[in-house]
Structure 1
């Protein structure tokens, strides 16, 4: 596979080598602090965050009737957000070659345009006429197309018909066998990507193209856990000027091992490696937790309050890491066509009514205002175990400090005479006053925001 068509090969091999060295840390042991007590960590945001441009949601609009997805859009816009990631399943929108379901697509795209929403749209699942599945396969859509040109043709046709779409994504999670049967194949996906990019450059110039959102950190489970993005980079991925996207799901907000905080470390190391290799934009375009009540399927059962807790802590972390855009999974719960876990990822329930996670995210965004800039953390006289700390400043000059810890406790701040303590989950606000130059601040295991 050779994707390098636009820049000298030597330069891209050198950058790919950097990627190979640095990304090895993603899958190795993260550090000795994985054992025992979690260390305190202060994250320094790399840039300002404007929520409308930074935070989006995955929206399964085509699961619903137009009246319902319009309600979902109302709720999204009530949060002050504008970005949606929309799934188009090729096998359902082109059930016969050349016959597209414009009757369902046109009203949706018109509504997105009418509201001024911004969209990343991904096309996934081979159409019946294009699948490489063997005859009689029960899942023909989960096989890649037999000819990449068939996929590219459909993608370009969609991009031409819907110029209001901001970004088009080539497939979804091609590093996982569930989306690329019989097994993940970086060379085959590379051919699909290159064919699609070249077709888009010719047939729909100026449109952003996004790398198929890699599951997790792009590990390939049947190929020893190697990273698909490494293989693509060796072939010249970053000569194509595409947006890099992956899906950093984990068991807990700080990672699969919260003591090690492996999500934070992998995001820091991995994104630095991607930038060094030539990635100009990095999107985490799926992440989140389900509020399902079982039976247990990979993710711990955390309920609706746990979902609100995990999502707000992860959003706080991601805002302070080197992501250009992040898309929460998902805007709405789904109906019984989805599995038990997959049904309950939404900010909203099936009737488009807010769940506790929606209320918590809304509180967080209202408190910060539309834009925040990196701030200076307060001076700590005492540091509880496992403290996570992120400092911001609001546009009106008010200082904000995001924090939580391993266990409930109390910390002492110097240099802050009075402040307001906001409980993001519960919505409570508590006035705090310093005593003898020290401000006592309760700390819990969920996100709190101190304002002064």
Structure 2
């Protein structure tokens, strides 16, 4: 078994890189930045390469799973994130139950979908939890006794499923639901190192992702951020995709600070890039449309889910993410919690929810590719909490994504006419300049897209 000292020696170069950074940079998510008014996109976005979805095809009958794929392809999206649960694949040591996974992987291959696949969940025979422990029934939440055994299973899966594009080692080890009895960066580091060594020896051309950390990688209060801890151990030196799951109460922020999403992401990603991280992915994000009772996330309903998803997508597209995965393609059955049953773009029967139609309209308005653009000139006061993001389509047509905390009116100059799209409602209206040359733009709390020459 790999020891903490072995891990530190193996990853010492990455740790030295971090040690050379300014101390203030190590507070990843706490730096304050001015309130966002106009967010300048970081790079060109090609939606089918940038936006993916989590999918649980193995939970569904083959006909429903195929319908889900058809709905995804109708959005012209091409990436999925798949989860394999070790305790279900190998309930007893050496006895594998892979039929549902084989079927899922064949479906993904036949559909031409690209995928990142993670493995999580320890079988009883491999779990570190002791027999007779009061938490023994939650054995799958505890890490494996031997990280090498987990790595061997990842290698076996990599050989069996060559259609996997990216392997991801574990999921959300910074919270008790996936790493009990408490998060352990060095323990996860041993599992990660063994997995990387095994996969690089077996499928050397396949990228590997660190586990997607829950939220912004916070551990228990006072214990810091797990991404930062992994960096201090030197894990960034393994040339991994760094991933996390920025779930928040609203599209723009948390209940404590309704505008802290951008405030957290911008300095954190700058820090990660300064530590030579090449790829930053959000492998989960989204909102459940559940009716309650409340489980962390505010109750927003189906229309709220659609509204929040579009606004967050607009923000993430403009920020320094290389790829993002919405959670999730379909609602789930009662094997999931009440909240987790309702994150889908689709209902359990494969039929679209309002969030699916809103996303479809958003992507159609944008077109397959958008490039950083220049916002229109404004005159006078702006609605409270205005957010604007300017893009340009390849043919030169300009798009301005805009919304605000409160409805209001913007006065624009230099535009004779424009079209205002409301993808949440599925409406559009023509706008023309007044006699004074100003064009009045009604701003809503939901995202709208102004299209003009």
2:61 to 61, 65, 76: 65
**Partner residue of 1:163?**
162
Are the counterparts in 2 of residues 56 and 326 from structure 1 also a CA contact under 8 Å?
yes
Where structure 1 has 5 or more consecutive residues not aligned to the other structure, the ranges are 34-38
Q: Per the alignment, in what secondary structure is the counterpart of residue 126 of structure 2?
A: coil
CA shift in 2, pair 1:184/1:8, >3 Å? closer
* Greater mean alpha carbon deviation, residues 367-376 or residues 94-103: 94-103
How many residues matched?
A: 443
**Partner residue of 1:26?**
29
Distance 1:198 1:355 in 2: 42
**Partner residue of 2:140?**
141
Distance 1:280 1:119 in 2: 19
1:261 to 255, 259, 262: 259
Question: Could you tell me how far 1:395 is from its partner in structure 2?
Answer: 2.0
Distance 1:210 1:19 in 2: 26
Q: Per the alignment, in what secondary structure is the counterpart of residue 411 of structure 1?
A: strand
**Partner residue of 2:112?**
116
Distance 2:61 2:172 in 1: 27
Could you give the per-residue CA deviations for residues 103-153 of structure 1, whole angstroms, max 9, x where no partner exists? 222121111111110011000001222111221411111000000011000
Question: Could you tell me how far 1:16 is from its partner in structure 2?
Answer: 4.3
Question: Could you tell me how far 1:204 is from its partner in structure 2?
Answer: 2.1
Question: Could you tell me how far 1:8 is from its partner in structure 2?
Answer: 6.6
* Greater mean alpha carbon deviation, residues 246-255 or residues 59-68: 59-68
Question: Could you tell me how far 1:235 is from its partner in structure 2?
Answer: 1.4
CA shift in 2, pair 1:410/1:317, >3 Å? same
Q: Per the alignment, in what secondary structure is the counterpart of residue 248 of structure 2?
A: coil
Question: Could you tell me how far 1:257 is from its partner in structure 2?
Answer: 4.4
1:323 to 321, 324, 327: 321
CA shift in 2, pair 1:73/1:23, >3 Å? farther
2:41 to 45, 50, 66: 45
Where structure 2 has 5 or more consecutive residues not aligned to the other structure, the ranges are none
Alignment of 1:164-243 (within 5 A): 164-221=163-220, 224-243=222-241
**Partner residue of 2:87?**
91
Could you give the per-residue CA deviations for residues 314-352 of structure 1, whole angstroms, max 9, x where no partner exists? 000000000000000010001112111111000001111
Distance 1:373 1:174 in 2: 36
Are the counterparts in 2 of residues 175 and 215 from structure 1 also a CA contact under 8 Å?
yes
Distance 1:40 1:190 in 2: 36
Question: Could you tell me how far 1:102 is from its partner in structure 2?
Answer: 2.7
1:127 to 123, 128, 143: 123
1:76 to 65, 72, 75: 72
Taking structure 1 as the reference length, what is the TM-score of the superposition?
0.95
Distance 1:40 1:213 in 2: 27
Distance 1:6 1:373 in 2: 41
**Partner residue of 2:426?**
427
* RMSD of equivalent CA atoms: 1.7
Question: Could you tell me how far 1:27 is from its partner in structure 2?
Answer: 3.9
Question: Could you tell me how far 1:360 is from its partner in structure 2?
Answer: 0.5
* Greater mean alpha carbon deviation, residues 227-236 or residues 74-83: 227-236
